[in-house]
Structure 1
Amino acid sequence: MRRILLVVLAVTLVLAGCTEKPGEKGGDGKRPAEANGIPTSAGTHKQKMDVGTFGHREFLLHVPSKVSGGDWEDGKPADPPALVIALHGGLATMGKMQDLTGFDKLSDEHGFLVAYPDGFMTTWNAGDCCGAAKVGNIDDVGFLTKLIDKITGAGLADPKRVYVTGFSNGAGMAYRMACEKPDKVAAIGVVEGALVTHCDPGRPVSAMIFHGTADGSVPFNGGGHRDFNDRRPFPPVSKAVDFWRKVAGLPAPTERVKALGDTTSCESTGKGDQGVAVTFCKIQGGTHQWPDEAAPMLWNFFSSHPRNGT
């Protein structure tokens, strides 16, 4: 009996020595449980991030199974995927943006990461808009830059394939990121938003812009009020289209692009010498809402526009 107990004890010790500890490599022998404190398992993970101010900022990170179960080297994906950052509209949240867009399904199909950050009191400081974030002069550019650096610095995403998209106030924030951090952003996707910030980028950024002709909140031809305390009108969407193509030295968009929605028509400038393009999608009769076709069309655009150079 004593001999049997000794054998059982010896086997138990051997198995205990083989058991993984938190933070060690996963079951495939290559994938760690975390990278730079970020979970690598498939699914959506709620994360908190210190931004050097009182409190913290939060974001959701959706990791597709293709990344979490793919080839890893030295605790990082051997071929880092793209990262899409999706910014919610005013008076919304990161969870609502996740539900609204359908990016999770595309992420799982194509193997890219999606981050859904939370704005400050449901708003983003997009320049002249909007709400609490603007009034409080919140450094949302700094927050999103740290978010990008955290994920790409962990080796979980390709720094040359970081894309920022947004809806309404979040779309305005996407513009601001391209204006102030063009070295971090390969392309932006703007849905029912306006360029309402000083913009002098040091390099061109690819842009895909969706806007409905019947948008009553951010009017297609300009108008309305930029914010509750700023009665200046929004500029027309054509101003932003012209701005980004001129930065890249591109012609007016005339090349027809296949659209998924029956009421959506898209035209592109085509790629210029720097691989940059601007595509404008007009939604006939479209109101202030996220179109069903936006996410798949944006991913098709993003995937063909990595950032060139350093």
Structure 2
Amino acid sequence: MLAAPLAVAPSVSAVPRDEPGPHESRSQCGLGPGRTTITITSGSRDRTVVVHVPSTGEDARALPLVLDLHGSNSTPNEELMRTRLDQTAQREGFIVAAPQGAIPAPAGFVWNVPFTGTDVAGAPDDVAFLQDLIGTLVDGGCVDGSRVYAAGYSGGGRMVSQFACEHPELVAAIAPVAGLRAGAPLTAGSAVPDPATCIPSRGVRVITFNGTADPVNPFAGGGAPYWGYGALAASQRWAEINGCHTTKDTRVSPNVSLVTHRGCPQNAVVQQYVVNGGGHTWPGGNAAAFPGAGVTTQEISANDLMWSFFEQGRLSRN
């Protein structure tokens, strides 16, 4: 059961909960172990975030943070049910924060991703919201600001991608699943990205996962106007942005291959796992939570792979 909502203003530490039990500990920010729902104010709106703090958290240190953004027409709790990133957080000792979009949709909420149809007058500024969320948890002592990472599914992956385009100084790596973008299509539905819509000031480490039979965001491109260029074009564009010089293809399992773009300054590598026959799903995730979205491969675990990737990089303040 979720705890009562905890009101937290941006850049202000969270209000402490009751003391942990004898076999528990908590991060120094005051959020106790387990799942908590908090609200923060961003752009004069109260925004909802579901946070999981591992029971192995230590009072004396801030923990890594992984954002987990839900897909379109979804919610934070559904996202965690799909990805099980809270279980990985518990095992590996990081905080996972699943924020909620603010644009209502029939089955939940959607994100206001810049340069798409949701980016309309009066829509919430979700780039600013993610800034405020990160600032709240870092400034409040919960999170190590050099170890902030962002994952997202589908529309959440598109939101994470654009956030990295605009604020690479805030995320050490991103992991979009079935949603990597490198800016908007050059024109609606275009097969190439518009370079003017993704101009990060530094390279961003990227790990991403795509199924070749994705029925929502087609692997080869096409689909909805916001999608346009395909999954390989997105990772290739990030490789160009990051200044990578070499590419290596590796067979990981019978139906999974890995494309790695290497030789990138500041080790800003780009890894793309391609699931042959995979659907619009989260590899290794809860297959029952993706009805009608195609195959959810269990040959790899997106959670394990992204966390291993995240651990290899931190933000430099230089």
TM-score normalised over the length of structure 2: 0.77
Amino acid at match of 1:296: D
Name the counterpart of 2:269. Answer: 277
Contact 1:194 1:234 survives alignment (8 Å) = no
Amino acid at match of 1:124: W
Q: 1:24 to 1:59 in 2, by over 3 A?
A: closer
The more displaced of 209-218 and 144-153 is 209-218
Amino acid at match of 2:81: D
Structure 1 residue corresponding to 2:53, chosen from 44, 50, 63: 63
Cα RMSD over matched residues? 2.6
Separation in 2, partners of 1:164, 1:142:
15
Separation in 1, partners of 2:140, 2:245:
38
Name the counterpart of 1:96. Answer: 78
- Superposed CA offset, 1:153-210 (max 9, x none): 1121111111111111000001111000101011100111142431110000000111
Name the counterpart of 2:288. Answer: none
Name the counterpart of 2:35. Answer: 44
- Superposed CA offset, 1:195-228 (max 9, x none): 243111000000011111111211111101135x
Query: Is residue 69 of structure 2 the alignment partner of residue 87 of structure 1?
Result: yes
Separation in 2, partners of 1:99, 1:219:
24
Q: 1:262 to 1:128 in 2, by over 3 A?
A: farther
Contact 1:24 1:32 survives alignment (8 Å) = no
Structure 2 residue corresponding to 1:125, chosen from 99, 112, 125: 112
Amino acid at match of 2:88: L
Name the counterpart of 1:223. Answer: 222
- Superposed CA offset, 1:107-132 (max 9, x none): 1111100000001121012224354x
SS in 1 for 2:228: coil
Matches within 5 A, 1:166-245: 166-195=152-181, 196-197=183-184, 198-226=197-225, 234-245=228-239
Q: Report how many residues are paired.
A: 269
Separation in 2, partners of 1:45, 1:24:
10
- Paired-residue identity, %: 30
Separation in 2, partners of 1:102, 1:210:
16
Name the counterpart of 2:12. Answer: none
Separation in 1, partners of 2:281, 2:121:
25
Structure 1 residue corresponding to 2:282, chosen from 251, 275, 290: 290
Structure with a larger share of its residues in helix: 1
Q: 1:272 to 1:48 in 2, by over 3 A?
A: same
Contact 2:27 2:63 survives alignment (8 Å) = no
Per-residue deviation at 1:275?
2.2
Structure with a larger share of its residues in strand: 2
Separation in 2, partners of 1:127, 1:134:
9
TM-score normalised over the length of structure 1: 0.79
SS in 2 for 1:146: helix
Name the counterpart of 1:303. Answer: 311
Q: 1:24 to 1:92 in 2, by over 3 A?
A: closer
Select the structure of larger CA radius of gyration.
1
Contact 1:23 1:32 survives alignment (8 Å) = no
Query: Is residue 134 of structure 2 the alignment partner of residue 148 of structure 1?
Result: yes
Q: 1:265 to 1:48 in 2, by over 3 A?
A: same
Separation in 1, partners of 2:111, 2:39:
17
Q: 1:134 to 1:282 in 2, by over 3 A?
A: farther
Contact 1:275 1:308 survives alignment (8 Å) = no
Amino acid at match of 2:317: G
